[in-house]
Amino acid sequence: MSKLREQMLKDLQIRRFSTSTQKQYIRAVRDLARYYGKSPELIDCSQVQDWLLYLMNQRNLNWSTVNTICAGLKFFYSVTLGLKGELFSIPSRRTPRSLPAILSAEEVESLFSVEEGNLRNQTLLMTTYAAGLRVSEVIRLTVKDIDSKRMMIFVRKGKRAKDRYTILSKRLLSQLRSYWRVYKPKGQLFPGKKPATNIADSTARGIFVMAKAKASITKNGGIHMLRHSFATHMLEAGVDLRTIQILMGHSSIISTMHYLQMTRKKFDDTQSPLDRLDIPERD
């Protein structure tokens, strides 16, 4: 590991960035250096901007991906190299916000039913949905995090390293007990191949993709769809925004309010003006 990369890693760790973010930021700097074939501290601002344009225009990367790369480069140049103000700057841009796809209740049921032959996969997907978890949160769950007496799940080090509690449903508790009787996990709830490790992030994502294909669900999206669906279904069931915010671990209720745009609750009783017109229907 080069001295610059080692220093950047230390800078990230001391600021408590997640392991995933550390890898993404370091990869951004590494890829920039490889593109120009020289050490990143020798690459100036205009070259960085040209590379970002290349990623968007030639590689056709979506803006969220480029935005993460941009954030990693900003961190490297401003923190690790200590360049401030006009010495180095990347123009900030408004990030387009597209609404995520939401699974219907029937689609969620189908997703679980196609995994009836694989108790581990079914339980992992069910836990993710029932508690509104991020994939990084569900794979890190331990047996001790399941509090059956209080009917709560303890989520360790969620986004921004924050702990929180979320709900433990009766149906999920029954599923977890069946799962425990078969697999008998002692530490990690979903253990990996090596002792005392959890299942890999990529494995959990792959489980969802395969289940979605088997269930013939064509909506775009990965395992995070289950978290989005949890929030939307809770809102449609009449749960207030503040409660959903706490369960999901949102720092701001504004993040939770975006689910108002995806709920059917306010639309079910709303009539289109077309339905009020006296137009004969075709046979």
Q: Which residues are catalytic?
A: 134, 159, 224, 227, 250, 259
DSSP H stretches of helix in 41-118? 45-57, 63-75, 105-113
Separation CA 197–CA 134 (nearest Å): 18
**Using CA of residue 275, residue 280, residue 282, residue 283, what is the dihedral sign?**
positive
Q: How many other CB atoms are there within 10 angstroms of residue 256's CB atom?
A: 21
Exposure class string for 201-217: b at 16+ Cβ within 10 A, else e: bebbeebbeebbeebeb
Helix/strand/coil (H/E/C) assignment for every residue in 90-112: CCCCCCCCCCCCCCCHHHHHHHH
Separation CA 79–CA 69 (nearest Å): 15
